[in-house]
Structure 1
Amino acid sequence: MTAHAAAAARLRDVVHSATTGLVDREQLAELMVLASVAGEHLLVVGPPGTAKSAVVRRVAAALGGRYFEYLLGRFTEPSELFGPVDLRKLRDGRVEADVTGMLPEADIAFLDEVFLGSTAILNSLLGVLNERRFRRGHTDVACPLRVCVGAANALPEDEALAAFADRFLLRLFVEPVPDNRLEALLEGGWAQESRAPGATADMADLDLLRAQVAQVRIADVRNPLAEALRKLRAAGVTLSDRRIVKTQRLVAAATVLAGREQATEADLWPLFYVLPSREAQLSAQEVLRGSMLMATNPTLRNAVEQVVLQPVSRVDRLVQAAQSCLDDTGSAATRTIAEALLREIDANFAAPALSPELAAARARLVERVSEPA
């Protein structure tokens, strides 16, 4: 196994470990990984209490980088994010911020209610997000930030805030757990207190893969990408030129995480998450269906499945989930997880339509739930 493949495998394990017990939140963890490798940022939109911060914290802890988190409000001061003025240097007539332990030193950042920040905060954030630099007075420092995850309950309607939101290239819209997964939600939540530390990677894995992004041969997918964009425009879904150009970097990152150096049509799926609104993404699932038929990624299976909504992608994810459940013999939650997987398999596939792999996984899950408690 190459160093790049090993790094991608460790990140895949981090995603699985970080989302154990958190139902339907694998997408968030996977898109954090994609954004980190691409050098872009992620905006998560959804109601409170949907485990957004829990996933970000777990992924950050597993990656081991310096982590900064803050809940913004109308009265949040810039110093709460970027550090106070260094009083010792102020006596010498220099206005410098003491950034120790603050956002400018973070590898991974989570900003909750990000659109509630003041104009001064958002202006400083633009420099950190776009240029990876923090400037204030005489302070001018490079920021090691790999990814910033912003969270909000809704997209802003104010044009100035919408322009700031455009700096978050990836968009994920989350909903409360659906009715058919409530048992898994209850079981997972009950088991949170006893959750053991999971798989880990480190910043070196991200940096190794991120350096590989620039080496990806992407020319062959520019025409299919342009054609997909034309389909979106014809359907009334438009993107800014900046977002269109940056989509190529996400495609290249997806290629790297798939273990390849040559981008193919299988790597075009990140375009879905570049679309800025929930309505645009829902429209795109039908508009882009033909363009995304080949979409696949062994590291980011759940993110791909949401895009294509094709049986083949669902089978791939269900087989992997079943194997993980069956391998976990020490957890009290495995029976509930197995029952939830069986419900999902039976709801999506008639018995004659089961692939041999999925049929075998289903049979083993039945054996698991039939075992004495």
Structure 2
Amino acid sequence: MISTQPAPLSTDAGVLRDAIARARTGLVDREVVAEVVVLCAVAGEHVLVIGAPGTAKSEAVRRTADQLGGRYFEYLLGRFTEPSEIFGPVDLRRLREGLVEFETAGMLPEAEVAFLDEVFLGSTAVLNTLLGILNERVFRRGSTHLSCPLRVCVGAANSLPDDPALAAFADRFLARVFVTPVVDARLDELLEVGWGAGSRPSDPVGSLLPAVDRLSRAARDSDLTGVRGPLAAALRRMRQAGVPLSDRRAVRSQRLVAAAAALDGRTAATVDDLWVLPLIAPTLDAQASARDVLSDLVEQGRNGSLVYAAEEFARGQQARAARLVETGRRLLDEVGSGPLAYDDRLRVEATLREIDAGFVLADAPQALQDTRGLLVAAIQA
């Protein structure tokens, strides 16, 4: 008899961990974008990616969407974008009967993952309709009322809008990721990856959205009792540091905390999951302030699935060690056994240098010590 038992939480977390790793392949300094998109998909929230043109925002989102699978919708908005280009045209057959309904097949109302580039350039008509989809997962236009299966919408823009009229719309995107040009230390890696830019990571077998949905249910059922007091204290610290947080953002931050726990394979959130809180700060400066005032609270934060994001926002040794273990193990899988090629040797040596620069070996976590030993053995083979 075939078992119908649901997959364990750790199994689904592992499936998404592998999908994130595939999405990160070929991305340089954009790993956080991929991880936060998955975090928000599990949390049932939306994310803004802000950065100058040419910083691979779109590529990072597309690679992540490819790995998640499901129905995908992408559009570049402009001042003259018609609502029909996003939501679908009027159904002419129904119009002859006197009903204004819309054909939504293949359009945003039926998408499971969506990416809207230059999202703040949309007209008032487009943005007002989007509000219902983002907030309530419902499409309302004319006589059409449709429940939307959207898990996550990613909005991208070159900068945050100055227009106060757009503030309510922007507030529907709970998480913010700010990207800048790749740091000088990783330019060699960028050039190597960019030369083979036509390559794409392998596709998953089928859609991973069922795993996302199971983790989402686990997150909704997550026990936040033990973390609610520290969470409230953390939010007060952020507000006292001048980070503007609406009541909506404060309440919905719990979804990110619970989703982080679920993606780490746990049914209860802890203080170590509070590293997600800087993501809800609305500006780059506000995120920097949030990291500063929360540094002592989240320094032990880490996440087995979101290793780069946890390191970026926790800024602690535990998160850094987890990321280096992940990097080392993936690297060992890629280079295989036997003598290393020249480029592979450089990558292994670079990882070893980072481990040795950041940790006293005797005090490092055992997993990192073991990974370092395997990397040294690969060099000596």
1:276-331 Cα deviation digits (max 9, x unpaired): 11001111111101111231211111111111211221122112101101111379
SS at match of 1:154: coil
Report the CA distance between 1:350 and its aligned residue. Answer: 6.6
Which amino acid counterpart does residue 50 of structure 2 have in structure 1?
Answer: V
Counterpart mapping for 1:248-327 below 5 A: 248-327=254-333
On the 8 A contact 2:301/2:318 being kept in 1, the answer is: no
Worse overlay, 356-365 or 126-135: 356-365
Describe the superposition over 1:64-90 as per-residue Cα deviations: whole angstroms up to 9, x where unpaired.
Answer: 200000001111111110011111111
Maintained 8 Å contact 1:68/1:109: yes
In the alignment, the residues of structure 2 paired with residue 194 and residue 159 of structure 1 have an alpha-carbon distance, to the nearest angstrom, of 41
Residues 23-57 of structure 1 deviation map (CA, whole Å, 9 limit, x = unaligned): 12221111111111111000010111222211221
The equivalent position to 2:151 in structure 1, one of 146, 158, 171, is 146
Question: Would the aligned equivalents of 1:111 and 1:149 in 2 still touch at CA under 8 Å?
Answer: yes
Question: Are 2:38 and 1:33 aligned?
Answer: yes
Contact 1:18–1:198 (CA under 8 A) maintained in structure 2: no
SS at structure 2 position matched to 1:27: helix
Q: 1:216 aligns with which of 215, 222, 236?
A: 222
2:3 alignment partner in structure 1: none
1:225 to partner: Cα distance: 0.8
Alpha-carbon distance between aligned partners in 2 of 1:278 and 1:221, rounded to the nearest angstrom: 26
Q: CA RMSD in A?
A: 2.2
8 Å Cα contact 2:302-2:318 kept in structure 1: no
Give the one of 13, 17, 22 matched to 2:22: 17
Which moves more between the two structures, 124-133 or 234-243? 234-243
Q: Is the 8 A contact 2:72 2:111 kept in 1?
A: yes
Q: Answer whether contact 2:88 2:104 (CA < 8 A) is retained.
A: yes
Q: Which amino acid aligns with 1:241?
A: D
- Counterpart in the other structure of 1:338: 348
Q: How do 1:359-370 and structure 2 match up within 5 A?
A: 361-362=371-372, 364-365=374-375, 368=378
- Residue in 1 aligned with 2:238? 232
Percentage identity across paired residues of the two chains: 55
- TM-score, normalising length from structure 2? 0.91
Distance 1:102 1:188 in 2: 33
User: Which of 143, 157, 160 pairs up with 1:155?
Assistant: 160
TM-score between the two structures when normalised by the length of structure 1: 0.93
Shift of 1:180: 0.5
| Native 8 Å contact 2:300 2:318 kept in 1 | no
Tell me, yes or no, if the aligned pair for 1:34 and 1:250 is still in contact at 8 Å: yes
Matched residue count: 371
**Equivalent residues of 2:110, 2:149 under 8 A apart:** yes
The aligned residue for residue 103 of structure 2 is: 98
Matched-pair contact (CA < 8 Å) for 2:23–2:67: yes
Contact 1:109 1:147 in 2 (8 A): yes
Alpha-carbon distance in 2 for matches of 1:275, 1:87: 45
